[in-house]
């Protein structure tokens, strides 16, 4: 699977283009901005974007859902526990206040351990990791973990927003995220750390929030 990391939006959000070289189908994780640039990158590499995957429903990660869906026809996928708020009036107001476009409702609801397939040999597994939001997830593919606002390089996501919970976050980190092999590559939802990527092993050693 080919991975392209792109810094988008106004809050140092990382969007990810995941492409299957065999099927030439692709998914975009957390398009927080720059929909035309994301689409152009996919076109340049010969990929058709068929899915938009949201790690959670906050507007900084969903700001380009609407435009990217219009450009590509891709389906929007989010965990069922975050879906009710994705296109809610409260989330739309939050999006507008941040200068973002509100997201449409999801086309498909995800559950823990669901598989999103881009081709016969390319699949993305849903890992439910509540704490930042009730329906927060990570996405796992071929030794790569896309952690959204659950785990950053050297930090973890906030839990003081509505629906957040520090005890739940700790449980998700301990029982889900840190159980992946140490060489699993961590691709965070924001560029808040000293490097754009890390590994599970490195975070175990150096991240004060998970030690």
pLDDT confidence bin for 90, thresholds 50/70/90: confident
Helices H / strands E in the chain, number of each: 7, 14
- Choose between 99 and 39: higher pLDDT: 39
Alpha helices in 14-126 (DSSP H): 35-44, 59-62, 65-72, 83-86, 89-97
Quick one: average pLDDT of 81-93?
A: 85
Q: Taking the domains of the chain in order of start, what are their residue ranges?
A: 2-206
Residue 98, burial from CB neighbour count under 10 angstroms (0-12, 13-18, 19+): middle
Q: Which CATH architecture has domain 2-206?
A: 4-Layer Sandwich (3.60)
pLDDT confidence bin for 116, thresholds 50/70/90: very high
Model confidence pLDDT, tens digit, residues 136-190: 999 999 999 999 999 999 999 999 988 999 999 999 999 999 999 999 999 999 9
pLDDT computed for residue 88 by the predictor: 79
pTM for this structure? Answer: 0.95
């Amino acid at each position: 699977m080919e991975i392209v990391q792109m810094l988008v939006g106004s809050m140092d959000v990382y969007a990810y283009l995941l492409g299957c070289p065999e099927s030439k189908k692709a998914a975009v994780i957390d398009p927080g901005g720059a929909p035309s640039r994301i689409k152009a990158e996919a076109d340049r590499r010969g990929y058709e974007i068929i899915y938009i995957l949201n790690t959670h429903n906050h507007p900084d990660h969903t700001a380009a859902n609407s435009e990217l869906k219009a450009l590509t026809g891709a389906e929007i996928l989010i965990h069922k526990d975050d879906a009710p708020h994705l296109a809610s009036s409260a989330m739309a107001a939050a999006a507008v206040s941040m200068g973002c476009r509100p997201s449409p409702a999801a086309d498909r609801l995800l559950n823990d351990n669901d598989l999103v397939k881009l081709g016969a040999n390319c699949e993305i597994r849903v890992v439910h990791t509540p704490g930042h939001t009730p329906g927060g997830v990570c996405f796992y593919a071929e030794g790569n973990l896309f952690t959204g606002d659950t785990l950053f390089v050297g930090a973890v996501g906030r839990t003081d927003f509505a629906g957040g919970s520090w005890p739940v976050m700790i449980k998700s980190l301990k029982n889900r995220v840190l159980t992946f092999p140490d060489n699993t590559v961590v691709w965070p939802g924001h560029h808040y750390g000293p490097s754009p990527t890390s590994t599970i092993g490195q975070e175990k050693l150096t991240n004060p929030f998970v030690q």
